Copies of this chain bind each other. A is one copy, B any other.
Amino acid sequence: MPDFTDNLRPSQPDGPTTLARERTGSNISPKELSHHLLSTDGFLERQARILPIVQREPLFSKEKQQNLSRPERFKLGLARAKLLRRLKEQHKWSHDEYKMAEYLVDDVSPYFLHLEMFITTIREQASEAQRAEWLPLIESWKIVGAYAQTELGHGSNVRGLELEARWDGNTKEFILHSPTLTASKWWNGSLGRIANHAIVVAQLLLPKDGSENEYASHGPHPFIVQVRDMKTHLPLSGVVVGDIGPKYGYITMDNAYMLFNHFRVNPNSGIYTKPEQPALVYGSLTYVRAQIVHHARLVLARAVTVAVRYTAIRRQFQDRDGDKCGPEMAVLDYPTVQIRILPLLATAFALHYTGQSMRAIYQSTREDVEQGDFRSLAHMHSMSSGLKSLCTMLAADGVETCRRAMGGHGFGGGSGLIQLNNDYLSKPTVEGDNWMITQQVAAYLIKKMTAAVDSLASPTSDKTDEIFKEFIRNRSNGPSPTGLDVLASDQDVVKSFELRATALTYDVYEQRVLKKKSWNSLLIQLHKLSKVTKFFESLSTDNSLSGSTKSIMWELFRLFAFYTMEHEAFEFFRCNAVTKSDLDGLPARIQELMSRIRPHAVNLVDSWMIPDYLLDSALGRYDGRVYEDLYNRAHRLNPLNKITFNPNYWEDEIVKGSGESGASILSKL
């Protein structure tokens, strides 16, 4: 309905004017930088090709989805997931193209576990005969499967699972049974409402030799089990399965609970798969973690894109020391805003190089393993655990820091960060809790340090071994100033981080191995080990960036390093990795770096090339029409404004003229 607000414009200078000025005021080329960041595996080209296809589907419109209830939102998510699969056929998309479409639509697919765990597990762990039988059905989605491992009472400790699979020698069947409530499967994605099959992990109980009634446990084993009828889609008798209910995020995912009552799995309805290669099981978890590490940069880049563009446009107060004429200051010109956003901008790049290196390590290790060489597995596993923990923490916390830096409007739906935040908050605890899996890093490092101490005279085996040995030799010469000049040399910055990590490792080694302190009392110290220096190496070896872009990337590297250093100043100081006077100089240096990066901030976030459709953010849109978009969402798209309410408390009626009381709302569910 037209009204007088249709002709109103925001006050000047408006968003488009401001962003145009920002973009011409920097000599960084987003095109060049985006090519450097995102072209290696065809990502950019793929995004450009798939985007218009998904964007023209009305079902993929995000305009009103925040207003839906959980059941409605789940229906929408399922409808979208089906359409995506049909589009894949229609356009003959590769798996990567299909994943790109899914990424842009930005709903967690209810088929996610079918694709990511069910198919892969059967492909990699089933026998050839099993594969021949199952894969055609699975790949055509004739059957939809999930992966049911975690239980109500047990997550990380897989050995503690309670579901039993007892072998009945008479009928040649396995009997699945949940002896307790805590044995219920729990959190298993795609299984709550959608899947009709699942890989079910249960304690394998086999009769003891020569006995019919005594059973011995052989630990957790996977079984393929049909759990719903193929016609009615109702649970089979003896199976209780459903969706666990609302969560922080993942609204379109049907995480399941599932229990079995003496449920018989026979060769017609399911099979037992003996894991042939434990290393591969290990590998599939590592694969998921490596994916998470690789994805973190795009999550943080998305939040930083919104925060940089909006705070460049948003103005508040005149400069206290200025002449108080002219427009108010852009919020991004305040050091208190810069200190929250610009280090995160730098972090997004740090995450990028980390993700790249994680991917490279994963691929080379996989090749080794396929050749039968398992030596690099432990290193990769430790890397993927440490980086999963670090990267998801940086990204999850970074999204929230960006939101708060945007003040009031950051709390609104126009921020575009709500679903991103809600979904991403799962990452610090999922696929190995961040605090828990860093222990795996620590155990690995203690082992490396012990080896270094024991073989001090032998040649070094790798880079870590070399650094450890040098540290041990210097240590026995007594404490001495390191002579590092972190404010002047980027190389020394890296050495300082290395020194700190090594000193911490040695500390923990000393307490655990030499002083025999209990493992649990060391866990806190251990958590602090994992850190990144890939940023430096990547910049040092890169040949693709031009002079001005390269030099701003070096500034971002320094900002990331100094910001981290300042936050853990005492640790760096304690192990002699930075001098006190250098630490005293950090705040001024950080401020100086920020003022050099600031003019390029908009072009730097542009380089991530995150489409408006994915951002779904009034505050972060490319053209800067922040206020027009916020107003459009409020005035034209908000369904609540179609309802006229009855504000009189003494009347039970809620919607004016409906006569309907408030009590009816709850009964609708």
* A649 to B635 CA separation, bound complex (whole angstroms): 36
Which residue of B is nearest A638, CB measured?
A: B245
Residue of B85, B234, B247, B412 touching A644 (CB-CB under 8 A)? B234
Chain A residues 123-170 with CB under 8 Å of chain B are 141, 144, 150, 152-157, 160, 162
Q: Once the chains bind, are B316 and A160 in contact (CB under 8 Å)?
A: yes
Partner of A408, one of B69, B187, B196: B187
Q: Is the CB of A335 within 8 A of B666?
A: no
A66 sits at the interface (CB 8 A): yes
Contacts of A178 on B, CB cut-off 8 Å?
Answer: 5, 8
Are A153 and B10 in contact, with the CB atoms below 8 A?
Answer: yes
Which B residues are CB-close (under 8 A) to A254? Answer: 640
Against B, the Cβ 8 Å flags (1 = close, 0 = not) of A329-341 are 0000111110110
Which chain B residue lies CB-closest to A640?
B243
Chain B residues near A78 (CB, 8 Å)? Answer: 645, 654, 662
Shortest beta-carbon distance, A439 to chain B, in Å?
Answer: 8
Which B residues lie within 8 Å of A194 (CB)?
645, 647
* Residue of chain B at shortest CB distance from A256: B634
- With beta carbons under 8 angstroms apart, the residue of B68, B242, B524 that contacts A669 is B68
Across-interface contacts of A649 in B (CB, < 8 A): 81-82, 85-86, 111, 141
- Count of identical protomers in the assembly: 2
Residues of B contacting A83 in the complex (Cβ-Cβ under 8 angstroms): 662
Within 8 Å of chain B (Cβ to Cβ): is A99?
Answer: no
Given A8-B180, A316-B155, A411-B425: A666 and B61 interface contact (C-beta under 8 Å): yes
B67 near A257: Cβ-Cβ < 8 Å:
no
From B192, B520, B651, contact of A321 by CB (8 A): B520
Q: Which residues in B have their C-beta under 8 angstroms from that of A433?
A: 407-408
Known: A66-B70, A425-B411, A428-B404. A153 touches B627 (CB 8 A): yes
> How many Å lie between the Cα of A573 and that of B221 in the bound state?
54
Query: In chain A between 62 and 82, which residues have their CB closer than 8 angstroms to a CB of chain B?
Result: 64-72, 74-76, 78-82
Q: How far is the CA of A328 from the CA of B154 in the complex (A)?
A: 11
> Which of B76, B240, B405 contacts A5, CB < 8 Å?
B240
Query: A400 to B401, alpha carbons, bound, how many Å?
Result: 13
Confirm or deny: A413 has a beta carbon within 8 angstroms of a beta carbon on chain B: yes
Q: Say whether A435 contacts B336, CB under 8 Å.
A: yes
Alpha-carbon gap, A74 to B662, bound state (A): 10
- The segment from A270-278, A291-299, A370-378, A583-591 found at the interface with B is A583-591
Knowing A59-B666, A181-B627, A627-B182, say if A584 contacts B591 (CB, 8 Å): no
A76 touches B665 (CB 8 A): yes
A215 close to B (CB within 8 Å): no
CB-CB nearest in chain B for A590: B524
**Which residues of A, 624-658, contact B by the 8 Å Cβ criterion?**
627-628, 630-631, 633-635, 637-641, 643-652, 654-656
Chain B contacts for A58, CB-based, 8 A: 663, 666
Q: Tell me whether A11 and B316 are in contact in the complex, defined as CB-CB below 8 angstroms, given that A411-B248, A634-B244 are known contacts.
A: no
Interface set, chain A 155-212, CB cutoff 8 A to B: 155-157, 160, 162, 178, 180-184, 186-187, 192-196
Q: Is the CB of A647 within 8 A of B76?
A: no
Task: Tell me whether A666 and B76 are in contact (CB under 8 A).
Answer: yes
Asked if A521 is at the interface of the complex by the 8 Å CB criterion, the answer is yes
Chain B's nearest CB lies how many Å from the CB of A224? 17
Interface string of A556-573 (1 = CB under 8 A from B): 000000000000011001
Closest to A583 in B: B570
Pick the contact of A647: B153, B233, B518 (CB < 8 A): B233
The one of B245, B413, B640 in contact with A637, judged by C-beta atoms closer than 8 angstroms, is B245
Whether the Cβ atoms of B413 and A429 lie closer than 8 Å is no
CB of A25 within 8 Å of the partner chain: no
Q: How far is the CB of A91 from chain B (nearest CB, A)?
A: 15
Does A24 make an interface contact (CB < 8 A)? no
A266 at the interface (CB under 8 A from B): no
- CA distance in complex: A59, B652 (Å): 12
Complex Cα distance, B635 from A436, in Å, reads 30
In the complex the two chains form, what is the Cα distance from A499 to B435 in whole Å?
34
A243 & B638 in contact (Cβ 8 Å cutoff): yes
In the assembled complex, the CB of A351 is this many whole angstroms from the nearest CB of chain B, namely 19
A232 partner residues in chain B, CB cutoff 8 A: 644, 656
* Measured CA separation A64–B628 after assembly (Å): 36
A156 in contact with B72 given A85-B649, A641-B242 (CB within 8 Å): no
Q: Tell me whether A346 is interfacial, beta carbon within 8 Å.
A: no
Q: Which residues of B contact A242 (CB under 8 A)?
A: 634-635, 638, 640-641
Interface string of A292-321 (1 = CB under 8 A from B): 000000000000000000000001110111
B328 and A662 within 8 A (CB): no
Given the complex, which residues of B lie within 8 Å of A66, measured CB to CB? 70, 245-246
Residues of B close to A71: CB separation below 8 A: 67, 639-640, 643
Contact of A192 among B4, B570, B640 (CB under 8 A): B640
| Binary interface encoding of chain A residues 84-108 relative to chain B, with 1 for a CB under 8 A from any of its CBs, else 0 | 0110000000000000000000000
Q: How far is the CA of A38 from the CA of B628 in the complex (A)?
A: 48
Knowing A520-B319, A521-B591, A640-B192 are in contact, say whether A665-B328 is a contact too (CB < 8 A).
Answer: no
Across-interface contacts of A421 in B (CB, < 8 A): 248
In the complex, the answer to whether B573 meets A64 with C-beta atoms within 8 Å is: no
A414 within 8 A of B: yes
A259 at the interface (CB under 8 A from B): yes
15 new A-B contacts at CB < 8 Å, known A82-B650, A570-B583: A8-B178, A10-B153, A59-B663, A72-B668, A144-B647, A152-B630, A233-B645, A243-B638, A245-B633, A320-B518, A400-B425, A405-B435, A410-B429, A521-B591, A570-B573
Can you name 29 A-B residue pairings with CB atoms under 8 Å? A3-B240, A5-B240, A8-B183, A8-B184, A11-B183, A66-B245, A67-B69, A67-B70, A67-B71, A68-B69, A71-B639, A72-B665, A76-B662, A78-B645, A78-B662, A79-B654, A81-B649, A193-B643, A194-B645, A243-B640, A246-B413, A248-B421, A335-B520, A336-B524, A336-B527, A407-B433, A570-B573, A574-B580, A574-B584
The 5 A-B residue pairs with the shortest CB-CB distance, nearest first, are: A79-B662, A569-B570, A69-B69, A66-B246, A246-B413
